[in-house]
Amino acid sequence: MMTGLLATAATGALAEAPARSIRPAPRAADFSKNALPSAENLIERAKLGGRVSFVVADAQSGAVLESRAPLFPQPPASTAKALTSLYHLGVVGPDHRFTTRLLATGPIENARIEGDLVLAGGGDPTLDTDGLAELASKLKAAGVREVAGHLKIWTGALPSLHEIDTEQPDHVGYNPAIGGLNLNYNRVHFGWKRQGANYQVSMDARSASRVPGVTMARMAVVDRKGPIYTYQRQAARDDWTVARGALGGSGARWLPVRHPGLYAGEVFQTLARSYGIQIGGDILRADSDAGTELARVDSATSRAILSDMMKYSTNITAEIMGLSATEALGGAETLVGSAERMNQWLKDSLGLRQVTLEDHSGLGDDSRISASDMVRAMAQADKAGDLRSLMKPFDLRDRGTFKVAAKTGTLNFVNALTGYLDAANGRKLAFAIFCSDVARRDALTMAQREKPEGGRAWAGQARTLQRALLARWGEAYAGQA
């Protein structure tokens, strides 16, 4: 029987080559792309709740490649700083420098200023204690050893604002006051150390090389369960209290300053005395910046300041860069008014349609922008070459070798990401991803807002989703024209 079967095979099916290869068929050219999980599948896996919207587009043509709820208004959080950068660069330019000056209102006779000395701010968001020390050194080099009148401060270069966002806890350092004269990002360093049954506390304006103490910000340790901090604004002083049980053995943190001009004035007065320059009496406010210039310090260029702002996401820097652009356009008395000027500029200059920002940093959670408008701004900026170089690399970890330059944005139960993605073949994409659970955020009490329950886990899930979407787009749109 076996002989017969073999004979049949030899004269039948095995006698000739098969009509089709018996080897596995090669995969289609787009097999890997078709095997990618869909965006909806990735969003479902994230289990964020709330709303997720995104747009990814060709950065050169602006053609939308994929989107979800592209017109839905979302809180941008700190991705708004990318728009503020475009506003400042477009209105003020990349080479602007902020100047802080010392002015004399009277002549110098026998090393003595026969009048007042004015510390005049130019709005510099980066002025620190070392910068004030440089001013004091230059004043000494100019031959001044005494001031007959008062040290006065001039803060009129920008509007004076008590804080950025009224819905933040009093003690968070990222929500300070803003004005024309700022120091150390308008934060004061609070330190404490247990000594027996009591605590030794300090309030200072430390820098890399100096630690001048201050008295305009005061701290009292009190016996209570909560709240941890309380704040009371005085006419020329910030009064703080802290709950004893929250301190432990020792520690430190930065607190916001609400009188930044007086803060800078007190620190300068202390530094001047360290250089042998006698300036007595109270620190007063100047009505103008009139006077003879004796010394000045300049900031870095706007481009350098914006680069650091995008890297460290400093709110005060964003607000000042936006306010300074608005001043160049005629000014505004409030932060909301300045943001409205920026909104109009974004519409007129970049063609945005749905942008209603209430500040320049994204700290206020009533700001809104659609993913479509954010990507439109990214694509327009990439053509001009103004923004990508200011953004820092975004780590995709093990999800691919794609290059990403982006700005992150985080509030409680809000997470945003916008920027540029170089796909697998080098094709340049612009994108915006917004994740938010506004109802969950709005339900938080003031006491819960610094560290809300579940907030850290939610933010981690949102970041995982963002990386997964970027990896999908890097593969899906490689090689497409």
Amino acid occupying residue 12: G
Segment 289-343, tens digit of pLDDT: 999 999 999 999 999 999 999 999 999 999 999 999 999 999 999 999 999 999 9
Q: How many CA atoms lie within 13 A of 473 on its CB side?
A: 29
| pLDDT band, residue 237 (cuts 50/70/90) | very high
Residue range 46-50: average pLDDT?
A: 94
State yes or no: pLDDT of 17 exceeds 80. no
| Domain ranges across the chain | 32-94+301-476, 99-159+262-298, 186-252
- Closest-CA residue to 180 (of 119, 128, 236, 135): 119
Residue range 76-87: average pLDDT?
A: 98
Amino acid occupying residue 192: W
Q: Are 76 and 409 in contact (CB under 8 A)?
A: yes
Question: In this predicted model, which residue has the larger pLDDT, 355 or 29?
Answer: 355
Residue with tokens 């989107």: 67
| pLDDT band, residue 451 (cuts 50/70/90) | confident
State yes or no: pLDDT of 13 exceeds 60. no
What distance in Å separates the CA atoms of residue 457 and residue 365, rounded to the nearest whole number? 20
Segment 196-216, tens digit of pLDDT: 989 999 999 999 999 999 999
What distance in Å separates the CA atoms of residue 53 and residue 70, rounded to the nearest whole number? 6
Residue range 145-168: average pLDDT?
A: 97
Q: Where are the alpha helices (DSSP H) in 21-122?
A: 31-34, 39-46, 80-91
Residue range 13-29: average pLDDT?
A: 45
What distance in Å separates the CA atoms of residue 339 and residue 100, rounded to the nearest whole number? 25
Segment 93-127, tens digit of pLDDT: 999 999 999 999 999 999 999 999 999 999 999 99
What distance in Å separates the CA atoms of residue 193 and residue 201, rounded to the nearest whole number? 7
Between strands 292-298 and 99-104, the pairing is antiparallel
- Closest-CA residue to 118 (of 249, 367, 286, 278): 286
Predicted model pTM: 0.91
Note the pLDDT of residue 22. 47
Q: Superfamily assignment of 99-159+262-298 in CATH?
A: D-Ala-D-Ala carboxypeptidase C, peptidase S13 (3.50.80.20)
- Which residue(s) pair with 431 in the sheet? 56, 419
Q: Are 321 and 327 in contact (CB under 8 A)?
A: no
State yes or no: pLDDT of 11 exceeds 50. no
Note the pLDDT of residue 318. 98
Q: Are 228 and 246 in contact (CB under 8 A)?
A: yes
Give Cβ neighbours of residue 262 (< 8 Å, ≥ 6 apart): 153, 216, 236, 283
Give the tokens for residue 474: 């890097």
CATH assignment, 32-94+301-476: 3.40.710.10
What distance in Å separates the CA atoms of residue 273 and residue 120, rounded to the nearest whole number? 19
What distance in Å separates the CA atoms of residue 401 and residue 404, rounded to the nearest whole number? 9
State yes or no: pLDDT of 20 exceeds 50. no
- Closest-CA residue to 284 (of 234, 235, 233, 249): 235
Note the pLDDT of residue 449. 86
Residue range 59-84: average pLDDT?
A: 97
Task: Please classify residue 155 by burial: count the beta carbons closer than 10 Å to its beta carbon, then call 0-12 exposed, 13-18 middle and 19+ buried.
Answer: buried
